[in-house]
Amino acid sequence: MSSSDKNLDSHSNINLGHSEGKKIGLVVSEWNEEITSNLLHGAEEALLANGIIAEDITTAFVPGSFELILGSKWMAEDPEIDAVIALGSVIQGETKHFDFICQAVAQGIKDVNLSIGKPVVFGVLTTDTMEQAMDRAGGEHGNKGYEAGITALKMLGLKDKL
């Protein structure tokens, strides 16, 4: 389902468990900072609105989206952290660089999820244009950072439930 059809800014509470005491790590790419700062704000907003206190949010910055993989792994290895949200933005350029970075980051974040056994949420925009990225970082398609925050909480709720 495309972003234009679904927006988790309005979400169900299925698996949205007790957030009290949960510690969330945010790993944010500095590249396309105009976009990633909006994603960060959205993720923080979702977490704070659903019971996470500011002191239980740890934020780290990495140079680009490719570095989200290792940054997320390091963050997830911290026994104090319950879930990690990786936030980035890759915008199509004139070369195949976009394809390589998007594939590597998606695969890498998936690998970290499986190897660490904690939720590591893929909050990386992969868009054709800056306008599309802005639309998904607080614009007409909501804020995918907010959605990533909700996703992390839902995964923690599911883990608690199981």
pTM (predicted TM-score) = 0.90
Query: In the 8-state DSSP scheme, what is residue 87?
Result: E
Confidence of residue 11 (pLDDT cuts 50, 70, 90): low
Task: Using the Cα atoms of residue 59, residue 102, residue 7 and residue 31 in order, give the sign of their dihedral.
Answer: positive
Closest CA relative to residue 58, chosen from 69, 38, 70, 74: 74
> 3: helix, coil or strand?
coil
Which amino acid would we find at residue 24? I
pLDDT tens readout for residues 41-82: 999 999 999 999 999 999 999 999 999 999 999 999 999 999
Which ranges in 50-96 belong to alpha helices (H)? Answer: 68-77
Q: Where do the H-state alpha helices sit in the chain?
A: 33-49, 68-77, 97-116, 130-136, 144-161
Catalytic residue among 11, 18, 41, 97: 97
Among 87, 85, 97, 2, CA closest to 37: 87
123, 8 Cβ separation under 8 angstroms? no
CA dist., res. 104 & res. 58, Å (int) = 24
Distance, CA of 123 to CA of 65 (rounded, Å)? 10
* Residue extents of the structural domains in the chain: 24-161
CA distance 47 to 159: 17
CA atoms in the 13 A half-sphere facing the CB of 53: 3
**97 belongs to the catalytic site:** yes
Asked whether the predicted pLDDT for residue 24 surpasses 80, the reply is yes
pLDDT band at 10 (very low <50, low <70, confident <90, very high): low
Q: What CATH class is the domain 24-161?
A: alpha beta
Can you spell out the DSSP letters for 96-130?
Answer: THHHHHHHHHHHHHHHHHHHH-S-EEEEEEEESSH
* pLDDT tens digits, 92-145: 987 888 889 999 999 999 999 999 999 999 999 999 999 999 999 988 999 999
